[in-house]
Amino acid sequence: MSRHRRTDRARGADAAGRAKSPRQLRVGEELRHVLAAVLERGEMRDPDLRGVSVTVTEVDVSPDLRSATAFVMPLAGADRERVMAALRRAAPWFRAQVAQRVELRHAPDFRFELDHSFDHAHRIGELLNSPNVARDLDAADEAEPKE
């Protein structure tokens, strides 16, 4: 996933930079809830997904609602690559589960992508807490005139 794509997602735009329609946003949020519920119940047959907690952070839906990209994050030190491979293998099964639970003309084809936003947030936190940044912030505070 490119750096620009995450920025576009955060602004509510698709990969081409177009604003998402209210329907895309609404359907994406509903799909996120359904996927999260299915993952929480642990109904998957794949042993690589049993006992693994996965957070669904966002679901991007195409303008025609026929395809969806689910951004996920395996928790508790799970082997990310193994879990992502299992989710990708189970994509048709997730599509069938969504078709049973959501009233759409066509259940979307799912693509699963690892969400790196948690890693980026952690890295920013580390940088802000680093001694160099603290020193620079202290120097900036001392340079400001007091009222």
> What are the extents of the domains in the chain?
3-115, 116-147
Residue recorded with tokens 């929480």? 40
**Residue 44 to residue 99: CA distance in whole angstroms:** 16
pLDDT at 3: 43
Q: Which CATH architecture has domain 3-115?
A: 2-Layer Sandwich (3.30)
1 — pLDDT class (breaks 50, 70, 90): very low
Average pLDDT over residues 93-119: 90
- Tell which residue, 41, 120, 52, 57, has the closest CA to residue 87: 52
Name the percent of the chain lying above pLDDT 90. 50
What are the strands of the beta sheet with 109-114, ordered from one edge?
Answer: 54-61, 67-74, 109-114
pLDDT at 64: 94
- Tell which residue, 22, 102, 93, 14, has the closest CA to residue 60: 14
The model's pLDDT over 59-82, given as tens digits with 9 standing for 90+, comes to: 999 999 999 999 999 887 668 899
The model's pLDDT over 125-135, given as tens digits with 9 standing for 90+, comes to: 777 777 877 77
Looking at residue 35, its amino acid is L
Torsion, Cα 24 68 8 2, to 10 degrees, reads 180
